[in-house]
């Protein structure tokens, strides 16, 4: 079922080069033994395997940038904690080191390939967001040497802690986005591609390093050139409902990544902190400005994976997944985490998608966890079925010990859900007020088991390290 609106979305984020290789003819320079090299994933491969994502229940896809990339591959030292602590060549497989904003990288595919992908996604009821970069280019980009563009960049290195607007993020050449000619060029490059291909929106990279008035002009341009429904999801590092409001208040974007959920959830399911404090945190997320959205995630290409941070504890991970799918915001799934991908920390937080025994490169033969995928799929199905989980309010019902019970109620539709999370090692019980209209019975949507409702009171019974999602008859 297509998403009703963006509050109802489930977003799937993938590093295109790591997903599926659909055209071996564009595999120039592919080195799958190098964790920082190109591995061959492309638009054709993604289009061919969209059902892998659609059958999970995702309603939208976010793909990494696809413009032509800088050929410079600096040497880097891996994090020993990642499982790969040696030196390696770090190339622009991720798409964030542009060489030319107006040309697609042939290793990713052509504009026709992008159009075909979008058409196939739309046929499955899914939207497509493309990651775009306005702040910087690659270390060896041709813009730096071209006489017409070399003055587009700041010359003096600046620490991002001192000035996020004029700093060089990661030492990358910083575009002077305050210049009218730079703005016009970048807008024409990115919005022109959206106009020609039918993209549904952008994921905006490094938002806090570009001026607010740029984003306001960008918003006006997207509405004029691509349409009023063109969706903008921004990356403001450290974003939360409070932090992101600086960009929501003047309508610079529709949604922002919530950097607070991951760590808060990981800590809670590991027994850190009081249950009442975590409940207060979940409730605080509802203070997001009306009409705007948070997008919460458990893993990403820029942070250690939840699986790693939880020490491989599958039970704890499943609790976080349940909390993600029952909390306000647009849940973002990082490619492969739903099938147990061995993401760790950089550079191994960008490993190949696990295809198991399916003959798909570059992750052919990489083991996958079908039972974990079923857990994700079931939770997404429940979320999509119940409007209360995507657009309802938050009510704290019980926070005793290790048992968290909260209600989500969507008044316009009359839908109500009660969520119970037991992070403890023993069973937990509570009696809470049942939503009006439930009568004498309820059911746990996850297990299918019935639950008693007596004189308006729901009997909550949750096994150790388990979740229950109670719904009415």
Does 254 fall in a domain? yes
201 and 229 inside one domain: yes
- E strands within 18-143? 60-63, 67-69, 75-77, 87-89, 98-104, 127-132
Residues 461 and 316 in one domain: no
Residue 27 shares a structural domain with residue 111 = yes
Residue-level pLDDT at 40: 98
Verdict on whether the full-model pTM lies above 0.85: yes
Task: Return the pLDDT at 405.
Answer: 98
* Residues spanned by the domain of 183: 6-385
User: In the prediction, which pLDDT does 398 show?
Assistant: 98
Listed residues 350, 385, 420: the one ending a domain: 385
- Cβ atoms < 10 Å from Cβ of 171: 11
- Integer Cα distance of 336 and 353 in angstroms: 5
Is 390 within the bounds of a domain?
Answer: no
Under 8 Å CB-to-CB from 381, ≥6 apart: which residues? 57
Provide the pLDDT for residue 6: 98
Predicted pLDDT of residue 473 = 79
> What pLDDT, on the 0 to 100 scale, is given for residue 440?
83
CATH assignment of the domain containing 411? 2.60.40.1180
Residue 172 DSSP class: P
Same domain, yes or no: 326 and 456: no
Q: What is the pLDDT of residues 203-212, one digit of tens each?
A: 999 999 999 9
**Beta bridge partners of residue 34, listed in sequence order:** none
Cβ atoms of residues 93 and 105 within 8 Å: no
Q: What is the CA radius of gyration of the chain?
A: 23
Round to whole Å and give the CA distance between 212 and 3: 30
- 403-410/415-422 β-pairing: antiparallel
Supply the pLDDT for residue 262. 98
Whether residue 1 lies inside any domain: the answer is no
The pLDDT assigned to 437 comes to 84
Q: In total, how many domains does the chain have?
A: 2
Give, rounded to a whole angstrom, the gap between the first and last alpha carbons of the chain: 22
Query: Are residue 52 and residue 118 in the same domain, yes or no?
Result: yes
Looking at residue 28, what is its pLDDT?
Answer: 92
Q: Residues 381, 450: one domain? A: no
Instruction: Please list the ranges in the chain whose pLDDT falls under 50.
Output: none
349-391 pLDDT per residue, tens: 999 999 999 999 999 999 999 999 999 999 999 999 999 999 9
Cis peptide before 214 (omega within 30 of 0): no
Domain final residue pick, 360, 385, 410: 385
* 287 shares its domain with 428: no
Closest Cα partner for 222 from 257, 179, 254, 264?
Answer: 254
Same domain assignment for residues 361 and 414: no
Are the beta carbons of 431 and 461 closer than 8 angstroms? Answer: no
């Amino acid at each position: 079922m297509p998403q009703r609106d963006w509050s109802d979305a489930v977003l799937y984020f993938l590093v295109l080069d790591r997903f599926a290789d659909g055209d071996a003819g564009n595999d120039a320079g592919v080195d799958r033994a190098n964790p920082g090299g190109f591995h061959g994933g492309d638009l054709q491969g993604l289009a061919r395997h969209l059902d892998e994502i659609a059958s999970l229940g995702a309603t939208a896809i976010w793909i990494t940038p696809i413009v032509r990339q800088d050929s410079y591959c600096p040497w880097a030292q891996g994090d020993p904690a990642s499982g790969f602590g040696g030196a390696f060549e770090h190339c622009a497989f991720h798409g964030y080191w542009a060489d030319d904003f107006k040309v697609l990288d042939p290793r990713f595919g052509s504009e026709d390939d992008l159009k075909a992908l979008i058409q196939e996604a739309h046929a499955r009821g899914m939207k497509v967001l493309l990651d775009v970069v306005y702040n910087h280019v690659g270390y060896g980009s041709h813009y730096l040497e071209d006489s017409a563009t070399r003055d587009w960049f700041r010359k003096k290195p600046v620490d991002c802690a001192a000035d996020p607007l004029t700093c060089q993020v990661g030492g990358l050449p910083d575009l002077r986005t305050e210049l009218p000619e730079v703005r016009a060029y970048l807008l024409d490059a990115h919005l022109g591609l959206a106009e020609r291909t039918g993209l549904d929106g952008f994921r905006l990279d490094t938002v806090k390093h570009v001026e607010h008035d740029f984003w306001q002009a960008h918003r006006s341009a997207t509405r004029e050139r691509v349409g009023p429904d063109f969706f903008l999801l921004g990356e403001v590092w450290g974003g939360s409902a409070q932090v992101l409001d600086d960009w929501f208040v003047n309508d610079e974007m529709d949604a922002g990544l919530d950097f607070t959920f991951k760590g808060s959830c990981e800590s809670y399911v590991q027994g850190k902190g009081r249950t009442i404090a975590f409940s207060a945190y979940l409730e605080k997320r509802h203070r997001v400005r009306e009409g705007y959205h948070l997008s919460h995630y458990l893993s990403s290409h820029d942070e250690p994976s939840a699986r790693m941070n939880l020490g491989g504890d599958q039970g704890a991970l499943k609790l976080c997944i349940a909390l993600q799918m029952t909390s306000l915001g647009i849940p973002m799934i990082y490619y492969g985490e739903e099938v147990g991908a061995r993401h760790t920390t950089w550079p191994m937080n960008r490993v190949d998608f696990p295809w198991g025994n399916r003959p798909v490169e570059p992750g052919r033969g990489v083991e996958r966890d079908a039972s974990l995928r079923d857990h994700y799929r079931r939770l997404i199905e429940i979320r999509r079925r119940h409007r209360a989980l995507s657009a309802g309010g938050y009510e704290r019902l019980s926070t005793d010990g290790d048992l968290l019970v909260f209600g989500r109620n969507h008044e316009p539709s009359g839908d109500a859900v009660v969520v119970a999370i037991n992070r403890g090692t023993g069973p937990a019980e509570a009696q809470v007020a049942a939503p009006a209209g439930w009568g004498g019975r309820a059911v746990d949507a996850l297990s299918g088991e019935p639950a008693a409702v007596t004189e308006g009171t729901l009997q909550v019974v949750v096994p150790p390290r388990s979740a229950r999602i109670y719904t009415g008859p």
